Chains A and B, each alone.
Chain A
Amino acid sequence: MSSRDVLVVADVQRDVLDDTTLELLSVGRGLAAAAEGQLMCVVLSADGQPFAESLSAADRLLLVNDVQLTVYSPGPYVTALQEVIAAEQPGVILVGGTSIGWDIAPLLACRLQAPLLTGCLAVQRQGDGLSASVSFCAGKMMADVHIAKLPAFLMVMPGSSRATDEVGRARVEIRVPSAPLAAEQIRFQEWVLPEPGDVDITQQSILVAVGRGIQQEDNVELAEELARVLHGAVCASRPVVDQGWLPATRQVGKSGMTVKPKLYLALGISGAPEHVEGMKGAGLIIAVNTDPNAPIFDVAHYGAEIDALDLLPALVEAVSAKKV
């Protein structure tokens, strides 16, 4: 129980542990080791035991088991976590940039009047505080910042660290909330799953991805045509799905799908971190964007600074010609 310790908040939803948790454990291990502190990991769920093996890299695994934590609601989650923080007094609390993380990290930081950083790419201890590099402006700007006083909440950018492969022997401790938890004002009702029947973009080896740069609904057809000659499928960034030009099942990124095709052809996509999270594992990434400074060129293998709408018909032609 000291500010040298680091607490990782595991992200579990629908009985699945989010991959970002294992990345947080490697960031947390570095921070704990530098201060000779302990690495703790907390799981909020009905029964955290099934996750114990995956999270064994921590020194201590705190399982807050409660039926009110079966599905997410901010009230019980924040209350349960606040109690753990009060008991353990960690100096750094690491939270993933996930759907739950975006609620609970800022809510707790406000309650505890503690600083919060989003988009952390790197972090080190510095004196009694810490220094960090954060990404903002959709990946177009970085800031080196300093926090003098702990505790601090850090939301770590998914993919900025490798997942831990440490197999440890975390001591498992079961925690019982001191008072009954209740989802009072915000209550979970039901899961809404995507409608089946559409193409499963996670199973495609070739994806033609369109972003806001495609400009109009009619232009999606140009991408469809290219996908047909390539025997692939069309997917999209969020704005295209927001416009209703393609169904949500075609969205790649944080709230969409994570894809690993052999080819990802990104047309008019800027490469915001929330999008890159879902496609950076593709075998070959080719990006087409009119902005030479678009962050997508930092993840792509090949790039072309041209108008995607001009390229599309030319590419359909070139591909058809090479196939014969």
Chain B
Amino acid sequence: MNIAVVVRQVPDLIESLDIDSTASALDWESISFIVNECDDHALEQALLLKEANGGTVSVVAFDFGDVENTLYTAAAKGAERLVKIPCETHRHPSPWTAASWYAQVIRDLAADLVLVGVQAHDEFDGVLAPALATALSMPYLGVIRGVQAGSRPTTVAACKEFPRAVRARMEIELPAVLGILGADRPPRYVPVSRIRNAMNTVHFEEPGLNVPLGESPVSVCRLYPPVSGTHAEMIAGSEAEAADRIADILVEKGLLS
């Protein structure tokens, strides 16, 4: 199986998110990036499938943020091909534009299975995974946790999540794009020494594209941190004091028995 995985850089939400001087975009220069969590699961799922059934794993990413480290890490985990798409803007284009660029690269990789995170937390004017399926003229199924070999070599089996821990087992004819929420196993840990080794041995493929941002039919007027009508009453003090206060609240509410 020839598997392509899209891995995106997204803002690290642990750090503060700043808005730029136009008030209508994030301040991308000041943002620290991490790998989109669902994409990391997509990579893990691809590696698990390859290990169980043979094949290759190619990772495709736009060139901004911490992408080199991300790609070296993917190589250290077992990905064979690493494709870095030049991107002047230091941010992800809108999902629809991004999809058409990823599609150009993935077509050349002749992938029969494309795994992408089902969402990225910085998207709001589109969803990459189904847009990529459309650009590649492949069928799409998303909200997937777990993919295994199918009953025939030209199929895979995937579980789509529904509420209340219910899953639908589906059989998918390849080629296809799947929107991954979680892998069969949590993303593997890889020692720093292996990543360093990858830095010395691995080379990136850099297709001669240069991606413009494209125009979205959605125009952003203003960004702002959420203003909530309600906020918790904050409990101050040390952990012993906070514990005491919480226990008192539980007594007041008749929740201790």
Contacts and interface: CB of A to CB of B under 8 A. Distances in A.
Interface of A: 13-14, 18, 71-75, 98-99, 102-103, 106-107, 109-111, 114-119, 131, 134-149, 184-194, 206, 230-231, 238, 242-244, 248-249, 251, 254-258, 262-263, 265, 270, 284-288, 291, 293, 295, 297-307, 310-311, 314-315, 317-319, 321-323
Q: Which 5 A-B pairs have the closest CB atoms?
A: A303-B232, A314-B243, A298-B228, A318-B247, A110-B134
In terms of DSSP, what is the predominant structure of the interface of chain B? mixed
Contacts of A194: 164-166
Interface residues of B, number: 85
- Among A286, A295, A310, max chain B CB count under 10 A is at A286
A141 B247 contact: no
Contacts of B124: 117-119, 134-136, 143, 145
11 contacts: A110-B96, A118-B119, A142-B223, A146-B218, A149-B217, A188-B169, A188-B170, A189-B168, A291-B14, A302-B233, A319-B250
Interface of B: 11, 13-14, 16-17, 26, 41, 96, 118-119, 121-127, 129-131, 133-134, 139-143, 145, 157, 159-173, 176, 179, 181-182, 185-186, 216-228, 230-235, 238-240, 242-244, 246-251, 253, 255-257
Contact of B139 (A148, A185, A257, A321): A185
In terms of DSSP, what is the predominant structure of the interface of chain A? mixed
- Among A136, A190, A193, max chain B CB count under 10 A is at A136
Given A146-B221, A231-B257, A141 B17 contact: yes
Nearest to B234: A303
Contact of A303 (B118, B170, B216, B235): B235
Contacts, number: 272
A144 B221 contact: yes
A106 B230 contact: no
A13 B186 contact: no
A316 to B, nearest CB: 8
A102 B145 CA distance: 14
Contact of A103 (B143, B171, B186, B233): B143
B143 A99 contact: yes
A119 B256 CA distance: 38
A119 B226 CA distance: 13
A304 B124 CA distance: 31
Given A106-B130, A135-B226, A255 B163 contact: yes
Contact of B251 (A131, A310, A322): A322
